[in-house]
Amino acid sequence: MEIKENLKYSRDHEWVKIEGDKVYIGITDYAQDSLGDVVFVELPEVGDTFDAGDDFAVVESVKAASDIYTPVSGTVVEINEELENMPEMVNEAPYESWFIALEIDDPSELDSLMDWEEYQKFCEEEEA
């Protein structure tokens, strides 16, 4: 299982990459492995707004359909349209295959996310 050191992580297995007042959100290697082969990704529209904890996307795999949740509040400023045509990218490169970019409303929400060491420990505890 790969965990990147420069990202933040949620308990729902989303990763967050911070770039100024914008964040990119995707799912972790742990999440994509649990889902199995991803066959479809449904993304929101640019301009949609979400509160922390809201579901913003649906990922369908050969095993199940799963909601993806935003760990922070904000407005969608970009979507990764490549995922709609090539959903398998989520499995092949989970940390390059971001779903959305949000302009965050409250940067202090990032403080509630885990760093890579905390996330690694969290995953180990889930597997135990």
| Segment 45-59, tens digit of pLDDT | 999 999 999 999 999
Could you give the CA distance from residue 88 to residue 9 in angstroms, rounded to a whole number? Answer: 22
CATH of the domain at 77: 2.40.50.100
Q: Is the pLDDT of residue 64 over 90?
A: no
What confidence category does residue 127 fall into, taking pLDDT thresholds of 50, 70 and 90? confident
Does residue 1 fall inside a structural domain? no
pLDDT digits (tens, 9 = 90+) for 72-115: 999 999 999 999 899 999 999 999 999 999 999 999 999 999 99
pTM of the predicted model as reported, rounded to 2 decimal places:
0.95
Full domain range(s) for residue 42: 8-107+114-127
- Find out whether 77 and 44 touch, Cβ atoms under 8 Å: no
* Residue 2 belongs to some domain of the structure: no
Q: How far is CA 88 from CA 29, 30, 36, 97, in A?
A: 13, 15, 10, 10
